Every structure is written in structure tokens, then in C-alpha cells.
């Protein structure tokens, strides 16, 4: 049995965590004979980063490679949709033979899949283009293959042609798994059938835990200087023109406070770094923050610039006493290791997760965070850190159960005729 997971971005360790956890969830639900294939827009680089991963271009990537980025891509996609619609007829094979080999390969992979899974994450939101994420799903629909959207946050949705296309794809999904109630409401407003929307935890909570995982807060508190990891990111969608400047100033002020007042050792580390082919590098953003520090303090701060797999990053994060996380999956991987997290939310997915965990009061908003406010928030966070360490294992265990339940929901959805 084949499952094709599309819309992956394996060079982002957070998205790689979602991918590998999703594969594990599906294996548990459907059996060990399940073969998982990934489709990634940067398939070549993803294959180099993860040699054991069966990874290929998405349909959009195959079209891009075959037709370039000009108007001929639209015509190429139309031909691919025609081939998909006629796939089980003699005309289908004739049309397919006229397509470039990469596009035929993408069609073959969808045809061979028992289910097409659109990876979890956050990409059906206003900040990103719609068609690259929907191409495989439109082909699956045309071919009569069932597709599901794995656990994600999505919406609000655009109007116009993109909105109509998105609504069509979402309403014909066999199942849509969401991470939060807000996403459910966006889907219901789009007239997606409520019984096809199920809320589950982020797939990354189902990752296997490293053997060195520690949840003993006393062990952390008795081992020398406070160790703090900070993840930052560039966010070009700020509502205020000086929003990024204020955010950088706030993180720099917290870093200075950690070093001077708490004697802490601070390391900047993130899910998006060290992969030269990826579109962003958070270590460069960290360097911009560190440049704001007084020169004597800069030597007390470390920037981790290496690429890390999800398991490597979990091991790295597990060595810290606390994590200040702008990237959601830095927060999740730290929680999996039992490390308390002070989150900075740039999209609603972070505030929704921490509210569900009962920790919504910890969340700082990237749009409104200030140097004074972030330093004060960390002081409060530090005061309750031991209490957080005590409750994190139970919270994570609940999220893991919810994440694994997604596989059973997919299995049930595939058993029900659409």
C-alpha cells in the first residue's frame, strides 16, 4: 500500500518533523507494509539531507522543471489534469505520453497512491501562493484518488479565483485534520462538511523521543549557569513598518538581561538554518539580533549555524534549561524533551497551541512585544519554570495520544465512500 505525502518542506526541520511523524502515524494505523513517498518542492536538496527518504518533486515542481516559470506552466498543468481525468481510459495513456517525463512521473505516483496526504503545517494562509500547494490535490481529484489534509492550521482564505479553487479542493477532501478551533471555523465558513473536519494535535508530537530525554527539573537546576536557547525568525508580514525593529530590540534586550542579570549562557538555534538551498536562514536573523548587543556581550552569546535533523535538534534543545521560541516547532521539540518554553507567536497557530495546553498566558505576540515586556515576561516565566517542568510530561503525553489518533481518523475516512 502506498501513501503519498505532498507539500513537504524537509529542509525546514520543523516541517521534516511533521513529515517523519506523519509517516510514523500512518504506519501505526495502516500497518508496516505501508510505503510512504514524499513530494517536496526542493526534492533534490531534501534527498541529500535525508538519503533514506523516498522523495520526489511535487506536481507543481515537476511542471516548473519542465516548462519554466512562464505562462506555459498553466497550459502544462491543464494537460496534466486532462491526462489525470482520462487516466483509466486509452486516451489517458496517449495524453500522458505527450507530457514531459517529470510530469508523467508525478502522475504515476499519484495514481499508485492509496491516499494522497497534504502534509501538516501552515501554508494555506494569506501569506503563500495557493496553486503550488493544490496542484497534487487537484490531480488526485481528477484521477479519482482520495486525498486528506493532515493536521494543520489554515485560513483565513482569499477571495476571487484562488479562493474558489481552494474552496473546491477543501470541500472534496476526504478528511481535513486541524490543529485548532480557529481553523475549523474558517473551514466551516467555506462550507466544508463538519463531519470531515477533525481536530488533532500537531503531528510532530508523535515523533519518537531520543533516549537522552530528561524531564527532571531538579537535575537542570543544579548543573551550573542557566542555559537558554532562543529561536528567532524574519517575519515580513508585520502590520507595523517598524515591527521587526521592535521585535529585534526586544530579543536583544532579553539576551542582554539573561547574560548580565542571570549569568546565563545563550544560544540562538532554530529549525530553519544551515540548509543553503532553503529560502531563509534563521541564524542570519540571529546575527542581526546579536549585532544589537553591546560589544562585550556578543562574545557571551553563541549562534548555532548548523543544519539539524529533527532528532538532532531535539537532542540539542534537551540540553537547555529554557527555550524562548518564535518558531512553533522549536517550541514543540523542546516540549517533547521536557524543556519549558516561552513562546513568541507570529501566527495564530502558536497562541492556539499554548492556549490548548493551558499555557496561553505565556504567549508573547510578535506584533506587540517590547523590550521591557519580554524581559518582564521571562522573569515571570523563570519564577514558574519548576512548575512548568512538572506538568510538561503530562501535557506532551496527551498531545502524543491526539497526534497518533490522526492515523485512525485517516483509516476510517478511507473506508467510507465519498
The phi and psi torsions of 176 (rounded to 5 degrees) equal -125, 120
The x, y and z cell numbers of residue 329, run together, are 516547532
3-state secondary structure of 25: helix
CA distance 87 to 166: 23
- What confidence tens digit (pLDDT) does each residue in 201-232 have? 999 999 998 876 654 444 555 568 999 999 99
Q: What is the mean pLDDT of residues 356-374?
A: 98
Q: Which residues pair with 40 in a beta bridge?
A: 8, 57
Q: What is the mean pLDDT of residues 31-42?
A: 95
Closest to 375 measured CA to CA, from 261, 283, 271: 261
Q: Is the pLDDT of residue 384 over 80?
A: yes
Scanning the structure block, which residue is given the C-alpha cell 498553466?
74
- Contact call for residues 331 and 205 (beta carbons, < 8 A): no
- pLDDT score recorded for residue 416: 84
pTM: 0.96
Closest to 110 measured CA to CA, from 129, 84, 85: 84
Starting at the edge strand found earlier in the chain, the sheet holding 341-345 runs 301-303, 265-268, 227-231, 322-325, 341-345, 364-365
Stretch (H or E) spanning 144: none
Q: What is the mean pLDDT of residues 157-177?
A: 95
Q: What is the mean pLDDT of residues 155-162?
A: 91
Mean pLDDT of the chain: 94
Helices 13-30, 328-336: axis angle to 10 degrees equals: 60
pLDDT greater at residue 66 or residue 228: 228
**pLDDT over 70, % of the chain:** 96
- pLDDT score recorded for residue 96: 87
**pLDDT over 90, % of the chain:** 88
Using left for φ > 0, alpha for ψ between -120 and 50, and beta otherwise, residue 155 falls in left
Q: Is the pLDDT of residue 264 over 60?
A: yes
Tell me the longest C-alpha to C-alpha distance in the chain.
74
CA distance 66 to 397: 45
- What confidence tens digit (pLDDT) does each residue in 8-22 have? 999 999 999 999 999
- pLDDT score recorded for residue 74: 85
- pLDDT score recorded for residue 215: 47
Closest to 122 measured CA to CA, from 366, 351, 289: 351
pLDDT greater at residue 138 or residue 97: 138
What domains are defined for the chain? Answer: 2-199 (3.40.50.11930), 217-399 (3.40.50.2000)
Amino acid at each position: 500500500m502506498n501513501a503519498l505525502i505532498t507539500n513537504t518542506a524537509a529542509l525546514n526541520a520543523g516541517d521534516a518533523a511533521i513529515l517523519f511523524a506523519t509517516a510514523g502515524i500512518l504506519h501505526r494505523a495502516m500497518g508496516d507494509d505501508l510505503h510512504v513517498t514524499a513530494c517536496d518542492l526542493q526534492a533534490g536538496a531534501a534527498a541529500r539531507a535525508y538519503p533514506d527518504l523516498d522523495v520526489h518533486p511535487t506536481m507543481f515542481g515537476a511542471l516548473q522543471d519542465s516548462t519554466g516559470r512562464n505562462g506555459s506552466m498553466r497550459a502544462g498543468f491543464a494537460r496534466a489534469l486532462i491526462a489525470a481525468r482520462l487516466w483509466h481510459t486509452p486516451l489517458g495513456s496517449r495524453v500522458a505520453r505527450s507530457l514531459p517525463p517529470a510530469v508523467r512521473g508525478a502522475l504515476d505516483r499519484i495514481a499508485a497512491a492509496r491516499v494522497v496526504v497534504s502534509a501538516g503545517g501552515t501554508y494555506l494562509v494569506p501569506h503563500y501562493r495557493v496553486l503550488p500547494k493544490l496542484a497534487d490535490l487537484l490531480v488526485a481529484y481528477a484521477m479519482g484518488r482520495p486525498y486528506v489534509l493532515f493536521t494543520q492550521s489554515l485560513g483565513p482564505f482569499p477571495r476571487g479565483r484562488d479562493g474558489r479553487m481552494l474552496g473546491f479542493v477543501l470541500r472534496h477532501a476526504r478528511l481535513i485534520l486541524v490543529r485548532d478551533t480557529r481553523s475549523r471555523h474558517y473551514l466551516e465558513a467555506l462550507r466544508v462538511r463538519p463531519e470531515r473536519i477533525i481536530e488533532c494535535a500537531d503531528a510532530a508530537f508523535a515523533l519518537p523521543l531520543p533516549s537522552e530525554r530528561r524531564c527532571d527539573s531538579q537535575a537542570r537546576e543544579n548543573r551550573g549557569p542557566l542555559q537558554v536557547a532562543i529561536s528567532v525568525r524574519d517575519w515580513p508580514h508585520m502590520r507595523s513598518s517598524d515591527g521587526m525593529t521592535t521585535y529585534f530590540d526586544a530579543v536583544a534586550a532579553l539576551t542582554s538581561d539573561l547574560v548580565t542579570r542571570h549569568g546565563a549562557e545563550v544560544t540562538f538555534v532554530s529549525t530553519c538554518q544551515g540548509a543553503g538551498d532553503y529560502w531563509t536562514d534563521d541564524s542570519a536573523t540571529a546575527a542581526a539580533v546579536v549585532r544589537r548587543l553591546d560589544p562585550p556581550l556578543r562574545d557571551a552569546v553563541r549562534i548555532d549555524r548548523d543544519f539539524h535533523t529533527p532528532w538532532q535538534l531535539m537532542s540539542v534543545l534537551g540540553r537547555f534549561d529554557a527555550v524562548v521560541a518564535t518558531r512553533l516547532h522549536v517550541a514543540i521539540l523542546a516540549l517533547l524533551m521536557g524543556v519549558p518554553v516561552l513562546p513568541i507567536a507570529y501566527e495564530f497557530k502558536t497562541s492556539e497551541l499554548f492556549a490548548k495546553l493551558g499555557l496561553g498566558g505565556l504567549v508573547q505576540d510578535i506584533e506587540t512585544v517590547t523590550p521591557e515586556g519580554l524581559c518582564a515576561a521571562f522573569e515571570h516565566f523563570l519564577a514558574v519554570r519548576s512548575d512548568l517542568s512538572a506538568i510538561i510530561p503530562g501535557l506532551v503525553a496527551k498531545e502524543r495520544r491526539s497526534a497518533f489518533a490522526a492515523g485512525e481518523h485517516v483509516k476510517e475516512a478511507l473506508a467510507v465512500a465519498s
